[in-house]
Structures are given as structure tokens and as C-alpha cells.
Amino acid sequence: MTIAYVELSGDSPELAAWEATSAAEGLGGRPGGPGPELPGLIAVDVPTISDVARLAGRLALARRCLIPLARPEEVRTRVRAEASGGESAAVRRVGRPTGSPDPTILRVGEEFVRGGGRIDLAHPARRFWLAPDRTGRDWLLEECGAVDRAGFAARRMPRLPFRRPVSLPPRLARAAANLARIGAGRRVLDPFLGTGALLAEAGLLGARIYGIDRSATMVRGALRNLAFLGVSAEAVVEGDAGEVDLAEPHLRLDAILTDPPYGRSSTTGGEVTNQLVARVLPRWAEHVVPGGRIVLVVPRGSDDPPGLGIRRTALPVRVHRSLTREFRIYEPGTVDAPSPSDPDRPRTS
């Protein structure tokens, strides 16, 4: 395993921490690691060093992923050694705005130049970061990948061919997809498809996606959005998700990922949403394989639907100005929930 650190964006910190650890698990990794505790960063283990960049490519509520290079007493020696190839580099401090005066950063940059490298803040070949531990001593880390914030902006609802006023922003939809530990080739169902925002992000992560919606308009619109984003669905079905079948009636699912139509009665056929969710989700939960997850985005304080297994967490997030949702994780077939001291719970330093 390779230890990596994720610098969170500061948006919805608890959701961001769960996203980081769940995304690492989706790559075959795990939360935590043997490295130092560095405030502002969350540690995960991933199988290989190349997976650190892949992790950055998955995340939404983060800035970058880094690997530790040197302990505080070894920083200058390691920087000189890393400069021996003559490459360019930038040296910055985690959590400090670019351009802020920092004598330690200047000294580390000077060591890099002494070793044969050169400083290029605009277009460096490598990016080094300093992060203090709990004692205030600086560790040296290297950036292996940055989060593509521009890509999420390009997928916002106003830029899609099919638009509706209430839809999860792409960054939150990606965070929800990561909570489901989605990986390439895994099978994901959204039984309340809507505009396709959740399945779009799952598909961009390489999942095999399936959708159901009782509205023909939403089905057509979601397919337009998926096509616009270059995502193909295995099957999209129009109908009541409590009654219709997919093309593969005995399909085994790795995850259910959905944002039920709370507050949008036109898509429930007049049925009370809580009753609709309680009728639909247990049916599909039976298709989820052991170790799979069900991720729901629901109004804060909503009842837990029956038959979904243990609720691992409920993370409140303001989605729009006056709208707060809970991002909930359920694990079918599990019998106990983690205590607050459980080492698998993501924690920020």
C-alpha cells in the first residue's frame, strides 16, 4: 500500500472526508495509514503510487493528493536530492494562499536550486508542499494529482441540454458517487433517475449504469445529458421503479445511488414520497451484493426506509440556499454500525 494525503477543499468538511476515504476504498485502498497526522490533510492508503493520481481524478470536494517525501529533519537533504535531475519545481505551504511570505518556503526553494534544480512558480514540472505536524514541524510532500474543478464547472446544469431547476450540482453528485465506492465496471442503479446527474458522475468513474424513472420526459432528458457528457447507460427504463424490471431481471448491483423526488410531487404519480421510497428501495436493495452500498440524498431528518441494512452515516449538506440534504450511506446485510472511535471512520486532523 502507498500512503497518500488528501487536501480537502473546505466545502462540507465531513462529506469531503467521507468522500476521500470512500473513493480510496473504490480503488482498493483503505482509510488511514501509518504516516504522521498532518492538520488540514486526511490520510488514506491506496494500492500503488499511480493510484494517488487516480484518486485525485475521482474527487470533487478536495484540492489535491500528495505523497510524503521527507520527515522534518530530512527536508533539506531530500529537496537537494530531488533537484539533481535539473527539473523545475514550485514549493508552497498547505493551507496558505499563494504569494504569502514564508521564510521556510524560501529556504527550501534555495536548497532545491543548490541541488541543481530551478524554481518555476507558473509552470513547474514538480510541486512540493510543506505541511506541519501537531508539533509544528514541517514535513515535505509532493503533489501527485490535482482535482479538476473546471471539469465540474463544465457539467453544471445551465450547460447541459436538458435542464431542471432542482438537480444536484456535479461536485455533490460526484461526492455521492464516491460515497458508493464506485469503481470501473461496477454496476450502479438509480431508480429515481431525474436529470441523470448522479448516474453521469458514476459513469464518468467507469461504472456500468442503470436508471429508472416514471416520467418519459425525464428519461429522454437524462439520456440527452448522458450522451452530451459521453456516458453510455447499460439500460434506462421508463416506469414505476417498484414494478418494472431492467433488461437483466436478476442483475446483481454493486451500488444504488439516488436522490428521490422529495418536494417534486409531479414525478411521484401523486404518491407520498416517503411511501414511494419505502416501496421501491427495499426491492432493489435485495439486488445489492455483499459489500455494496446504498447512497441516498434525502431531506434532513427523513425516516430511514426499511430493508436497507445499517445506516453508516448521515451527512447534512446545504444543496441550495434554503435546501439542506443528508447524504446517507447504508450497507445491506451488515449488523453493526461503527462507533465514534471506530478506526475506519474518516477523520480530518
Enumerate the domain spans of the chain.
2-147, 150-331
Domain 2-147 indexed as CATH 3.30.2130.30: yes
* Residues 300, 325 contacting (CB under 8 angstroms): yes
Domains 2-147 and 150-331 share a fold: no
DSSP-based helix, strand, coil % in the chain, nearest 5:
30, 30, 40
Q: Enumerate residues 6+ apart whose C-beta is below 8 A from 136.
A: none
Q: In whole angstroms, give the CA distance from residue 119 to residue 249.
A: 59
Q: Enumerate residues 6+ apart whose C-beta is below 8 A from 248.
A: 235
Count of Cβ atoms closer than 10 Å to residue 83 Cβ: 21
Q: In the prediction, which pLDDT does 120 show?
A: 97
Q: In whole angstroms, give the CA distance from residue 340 to residue 321.
A: 30
Tell me the CATH class for 150-331. alpha beta
Confidence at 341, pLDDT banded by 50, 70, 90: very low
185 half-sphere exposure, CB direction, 13 A CA radius: 1
Helices within the chain (DSSP H only): 13-26, 50-58, 75-82, 103-114, 149-154, 170-179, 197-204, 216-228, 273-285
Q: Enumerate residues 6+ apart whose C-beta is below 8 A from 94.
A: 7, 38, 40, 41, 129, 130, 131, 141
Q: In the prediction, which pLDDT does 265 show?
A: 43
What percent of the chain shows pLDDT beyond 70? Answer: 92
Q: Is the pLDDT of residue 325 over 60?
A: yes
Helix (H) or strand (E) holding 211: strand 208-213
Mean pLDDT, residues 299-304: 90
Q: Global pTM?
A: 0.92
